[in-house]
Amino acid sequence: MDAKIETKNLNLYYGDYHSLKGVNIAIPPRSITAIIGPSGCGKSTLLRCFNRMNELIPGVIIEGEILLDGENIHQQGTDLIRLRRRVGMVFQRPNPFPLSIADNITYGLRVHGTPPGQKHSDIVENSLRATLLWEEVKDKLHSPALALSPEQQQRLCISRVLAIEPEILLMDEPCSALDPIATDHIEDLMRDLSESYTIIIVTHNMQQASRVSSWSAFMLMGELIEFGPTVRIFNNPRDKRTEAYISGRYG
Amino acid sequence: MRQEKLIALILQAVALSALAGLLLITVFIFKEGLPLILRTGLKDFFFSSDWEPDAGHFGIMSMIIGSLAVTLGAMLIGGTLGLGMAIVLTQFCPPKLASFLKPTIELLAGIPSVVYGFMGVVTLVPLIRSYLGGPGLSVLAASIVLGIMVLPTVTSISIDALKAVPRTYWEGSVALGATRWQTTHMLMLKAARSGIVAAIILGMGRALGETMAVIMVAGNALEIPGSVLDPVRTLTSNIALEMGYASGEHREALFAAGVTLFAVIMIFNTIALTFARRTIRQGRGQ
């Protein structure tokens, strides 16, 4: 199976700090890949390479290749706007904009110049349905998004990304601000979405990784230690360090 | 413990003295000015432009219009520039340059207003006179000078408002593929809206209250201006110009003009504070 997105010998430095060390990873399409590892191992940094959000931090140097459908997106002249349309991101803390629910969903459409009209309201409905939020908010589309519960806010943020029809969803600990029931709901949603989207999730919660993902990558101190099917990583890790982490000896 | 209490008491007294000062000033100017307004009648005081203190006519309408005209002009110039600067400094310019430019703009607030007035008289007024016509001493000259004087207020409060917008909003927008400018006008300005309104209103209060620089460049003619090139007299200028020799009812009328200014500026500041508080609440994500 061809990789949807892959990195080749990816190195990243924050000033003098070597944050990603020669990472080679090939993420399979239409599945959930979990990136696990202790705090500060570089998992969020790796995730942010896929939509090139790291470059917004001053002093970052990135070397190596990042291939999206075989095309290097880490080079001069890459259309970042188009890239970020194809590779959407959901953040750790739900970050709906201080606008109405509908305006949150149409934000990406307006950014990418989709003309408003009937199409917008269809997209609003479809994206809210995709995250099972539609029934809860259909009567208050024009009320402020910040009035929603944290779980609804995170669903809204996912809908907002889905509205611009990305191919890949990056999720940076999307449940860490949610309670266990809400977490369970979002995990169900991820499983549904993985039929049409390539999902990459960063999590420090190993149970979550084993529950939702088909593939797992274990990172330690900026290195990718092991990558493979989740079942194998969790039951039969090949590397001693993976085994030590999975069995809870550090992290 | 006794000592603690004593210190707390002293600090409270110090804090209350500011309030007491405000209270005293308020009571004093209202006591001096309000009776004349009531005696003259609201209509003849606010809506007549007949200001002849010797004949007992105290209509301040032309001065109200003068004050409003220069304040509006100052906000068109200073508000636009100040907001523009705040946008550039928070959204587009490298942080290092911004941390140098912001204090520089704030330094403008430290220049005495007489210096602004002087610069206006020597450079701006002749320019207006020779290129646009009229006496030069005009609404336009006062607006430009005041516009520069309100820059530090508008800019630094707008910067604070824009900086108070959580970075997660900005990241979310950029991650959706928005450019910096799209993020700025579609999201940041909306998220910081109440703080920016507060900045503009506080700037208006400053423009309305400024006296020295305005006296020097506005021409001080007691008439309703027909164009931006006509001279005007503002409420503040009038008080400053006439207080030296006024007595009796005339003096009371100047206090009454002060009451008017005081009320307007208090209203401005209250609105600004309400908006500023709202921004802070939104900043906390509620």
Q: Which of A80, A95, A108 sits opposite B168 (nearest CB)?
A: A95
CA distance B181 to chain A (A): 10
Residue B238 in domain: yes
Beta strands A60-68 and A5-14, pairing class = antiparallel
Inter-chain touch B187–A107, beta carbons under 8 Å: yes
A interface with B, Cβ–Cβ < 8 A, is 51, 53, 56, 58, 80-85, 88-89, 91, 93, 95, 97-99, 107-108, 110-112, 146, 157, 160-161, 164
Of B272, B233, B232, B268, nearest to B254 (Cα)? B233
Using 50, 70 and 90 to split pLDDT, how confident is the model at B280?
low
Q: Which of A44, A86, A95 to mutate to test the interface with B (most CBs of B within 10 A)?
A: A95
Inter-chain touch B172–A91, beta carbons under 8 Å: yes
Contact in structure between B91 and B188 (CB atoms under 8 Å): yes
Q: Would you call A250 helix, strand, or coil by DSSP? A: coil
A149: nearest CA partner in chain B: B286
Domain residue limits at B80: 60-283
Q: Which of A98, A111, A146 sits opposite B176 (nearest CB)?
A: A111
**Per-residue pLDDT for chain A (251 aa), expressed as one digit of tens each?**
588 999 999 999 998 999 999 999 999 999 999 999 998 899 999 999 999 999 888 889 999 999 999 999 998 889 999 999 999 999 999 999 999 999 999 999 999 988 877 789 999 999 999 999 999 999 999 999 999 999 999 999 999 999 999 999 999 999 988 899 989 999 999 999 999 999 999 998 899 999 999 999 999 999 999 999 999 999 999 999 999 998 886 65
Q: What is the mean pLDDT of residues B239-253?
A: 93
Q: Which of A51, A81, A89 sits opposite B179 (nearest CB)?
A: A81
pLDDT in tens, A53-64: 998 888 899 999
**How many domains is chain B built from?**
1
Inter-chain touch A108–B282, beta carbons under 8 Å: no
Inter-chain touch A97–B187, beta carbons under 8 Å: yes
Percent of chain B with pLDDT strictly greater than 70:
97
Q: Which of A97, A156, A161 to mutate to test the interface with B (most CBs of B within 10 A)?
A: A97
Q: What is the pLDDT of residue B286?
A: 38
The CATH number that applies at residue B103 is 1.10.3720.10
Inter-chain touch A95–B171, beta carbons under 8 Å: yes
pLDDT value at B281 more than 60: no
Of A67, A56, A128, nearest to B172 (Cα)? A56
Inter-chain touch B176–A99, beta carbons under 8 Å: no
Residue B19 in domain: no
pLDDT in tens, B87-121: 999 999 988 899 999 999 999 999 999 999 999 99
Residue B16 in domain: no
Q: What is the pLDDT of residue A57?
A: 86
Q: Does B56 touch chain A (CB under 8 A)?
A: no
Residue B198 in domain: yes
Q: How many CB pairs under 8 A join A and B?
A: 71
pLDDT in tens, B199-241: 999 999 999 999 999 999 999 999 999 999 999 999 999 999 9
Inter-chain touch B169–A95, beta carbons under 8 Å: yes
Residue B105 in domain: yes
Contact in structure between B170 and B187 (CB atoms under 8 Å): yes
Residue B129 in domain: yes
ipTM summary value:
0.91
Using 50, 70 and 90 to split pLDDT, how confident is the model at B279?
low
Residue B7 in domain: no
* Structure tokens, A232: 């194998």
Rg, C-alpha atoms of chain A: 18
Inter-chain touch B176–A164, beta carbons under 8 Å: yes
- Taking the CA of residue B274 as centre, how many other CA atoms within 13 Å lie in the half-sphere pointing to its CB? 6
**Using CB atoms within 10 A of its CB, is residue A54 exposed (0-12), middle (13-18) or buried (19+)?**
buried
| Residue A34, φ and ψ in degrees, nearest 5 | -105, 135
pLDDT in tens, B36-49: 999 999 999 999 99
* pTM listed for this prediction: 0.86
**SS3 for chain B, per residue?**
CHHHHHHHHHHHHHHHHHHHHHHHHHHHHHHHHHHHHHHHCHHHHHCCCCEEHHHCEECCHHHHHHHHHHHHHHHHHHHHHHHHHHHHHHHHCCHHHHHHHHHHHHHHHHCCHHHHHHHHHHHHHHHHHHHCCCCCCCHHHHHHHHHHHHHHHHHHHHHHHHHCCCHHHHHHHHHCCCCHHHHHHHHHHHHCHHHHHHHHHHHHHHHHHCCHHHHHHHECCCCCCCCCCCCECCHHHHHHHHCCCCCCHHHHHHHHHHHHHHHHHHHHHHHHHHHHHHHHHHHCCC
Residue B25 in domain: no
Residue with tokens 């509205």: A163
Using 50, 70 and 90 to split pLDDT, how confident is the model at B71?
very high
Q: What is the pLDDT of residue B283?
A: 47
Q: Does B218 touch chain A (CB under 8 A)?
A: no
> Between the CA atoms of B15, B17, B19 and B23, what dihedral angle is there, to the nearest 10 degrees?
170
CB contacts of B166 in chain A (<8 Å) are 95
pLDDT value at B284 more than 50: no
